Structure 1
Amino acid sequence: MTNEQLLTVFIVDDDDDIRSSLSRALSKRGYTVEAFSSARHFLKEYDHNKLGCIILDYGMPDMNGLELQRYMKEHSMILPVIFITGHGGIPESVQAIKQGAVDFLEKPFRQTTLVNCIDTAFSTVLETQQSAQGNKQLEAKLERLTNREKEVAEFIVLHPSSTSSKEVGRHLGISPRTVDHHRARVLEKMNMTSVTELVDQCVKAGLFSSD
């Protein structure tokens, strides 16, 4: 089973015919599909352990698509949004895209266009998941360091232009030779080959933030 097959396409549309036709068409293409008649129905039934993307009707009553998108963002529900609408305009589409939507499709649209949007959304989900897993692995390696090794690593990451043994040692109150020893141990335990790699990966993962 591929990673894509573990992902789900969620359809939220109050139009029974559109909801059913999209479900059938996407299921035939091999996607796992779950459909809901309203935003509140989706929020009530959604399993947060499931990853995927959401096809969202913009103009639903009670809670419209843009409101649901905003709610999901505020509650860290990581589902890329593909908006569909029968009467949308440029202001609505601009607002949706600004809030992070993958695309804003006006009905009727080609099935291939929707499929391309879904594949783009799935790629985003998988990249985010892989990045999160990589960060966890990096954090686990960081926990192997002694307190002094962490101090050396932190100074190097936060001051990438001041990584000489003399400068690090002066800041931490230890000798350059001791810095060399700790730096070598840090790279060994983190399974890295250079200070540049250490800085790059820690910055990308948001470790040792200066905030």
Structure 2
Amino acid sequence: MQEGAGQERAGTVFIVDDDERVLRSLQRLLKLSGYAVTPFADARSLLGCAELATAECIVLDLGLPDTDGLGVQEALSTIDGHPSVVFLTGRADVPSSVRAMKAGAVDFLMKPVEEAALLVAIEAGVQRTRGEREADQQKARVQARLESLTAREAEVLQHVVAGRLNKQIAGDLGTVEKTIKVHRARMMAKMGVRTVADLVRLVEYGR
């Protein structure tokens, strides 16, 4: 139980490398560092993994036998979960490293990789992935609140965000101010905010 809890805190890492010795060495290092590790010998096995979206960081060899790492990185960008990528390569390849970093790789490290540098890169990748997933969850919660509004409450929200007063909103919607106050109170409650400023920030965040 304690070991599993430690692994959960450290993160979930997938390793892809066709060199069995490298794969075993990296797997051992990361397990000793508290990570939950899943190894793959080729890109096809990785991309076909049913649990791919659970990976928080993927340590990816640039020169795989079935495809290059950059192609794998592109494929990973289309899946849910935003797994971060740390590249490993056995040769200096400036164009590839530039492409990888521009596409969002956390780091591009040379083999034989320094353990400290690899662990720093993986930790950065795990934290980035967790941050992006939390942001997605927060946006989903905002969207759920917006979808809980009635059509009239949604109209009132748009007017409130635009800075309109209750009296002005009532005139625009062809009703009385008292009715607008009721819709506004219900809308604010459903959105979980107390001030217009908080409402504006929440709506902007959810877009």
> How big is the alpha-carbon RMSD for the aligned residues of Structure 1 and Structure 2?
2.3
Mean Cα deviation higher: 175-184 or 55-64: 175-184
Residue 127 of structure 1 corresponds to 131
1:95 to 96, 99, 122: 99
The verdict on how the C-alpha distance between 1:194 and 1:51 changes in structure 2, with shifts beyond 3 A counting, is farther
1:60 partnered with 2:88: no
- Aligned pair count reads 203
Residue 183 of structure 2 corresponds to 182
Residue 118 of structure 1 corresponds to 122
Separation (CA, whole Å) in 2 of partners of 1:75 and 1:41: 15
Given that residues 53 and 81 in structure 2 are in contact (C-alpha distance below 8 angstroms), is that contact kept between their aligned partners in structure 1?
Answer: no
Residue 201 of structure 2 corresponds to 200
Aligned partner letter, 2:204:
V
Give the Å deviation of 1:80.
0.6
Separation (CA, whole Å) in 2 of partners of 1:155 and 1:3: 48
Aligned partner letter, 1:43:
L
1:104 partnered with 2:104: no
Separation (CA, whole Å) in 2 of partners of 1:125 and 1:137: 18
The verdict on how the C-alpha distance between 1:3 and 1:138 changes in structure 2, with shifts beyond 3 A counting, is farther
- Normalised to the residue count of structure 1, the TM-score between the two structures is 0.84
- In structure 2, stretches of 5+ residues that fail to align are none
- Residue identity over aligned pairs, in percent, reads 36
2:9 to 5, 13, 16: 5
Deviations 1:106-145 (A, max 9, x none): 1233211111111111112222222233233333333443
| Secondary structure in 1 matching 2:77 | helix
Deviations 1:75-130 (A, max 9, x none): 44621111111113222111101111111111233211111111111112222222
Separation (CA, whole Å) in 2 of partners of 1:44 and 1:144: 37
Given that residues 16 and 43 in structure 2 are in contact (C-alpha distance below 8 angstroms), is that contact kept between their aligned partners in structure 1?
Answer: yes
Give the Å deviation of 1:47.
1.3
| Secondary structure in 2 matching 1:82 | strand
- Normalised to the residue count of structure 2, the TM-score between the two structures is 0.86
Residue 84 of structure 1 corresponds to 88
Given that residues 4 and 122 in structure 1 are in contact (C-alpha distance below 8 angstroms), is that contact kept between their aligned partners in structure 2?
Answer: no
Separation (CA, whole Å) in 1 of partners of 2:67 and 2:172: 55
Give the Å deviation of 1:147.
1.9
Mean Cα deviation higher: 59-68 or 140-149: 140-149
- In structure 1, stretches of 5+ residues that fail to align are 207-211
Given that residues 7 and 50 in structure 1 are in contact (C-alpha distance below 8 angstroms), is that contact kept between their aligned partners in structure 2?
Answer: no
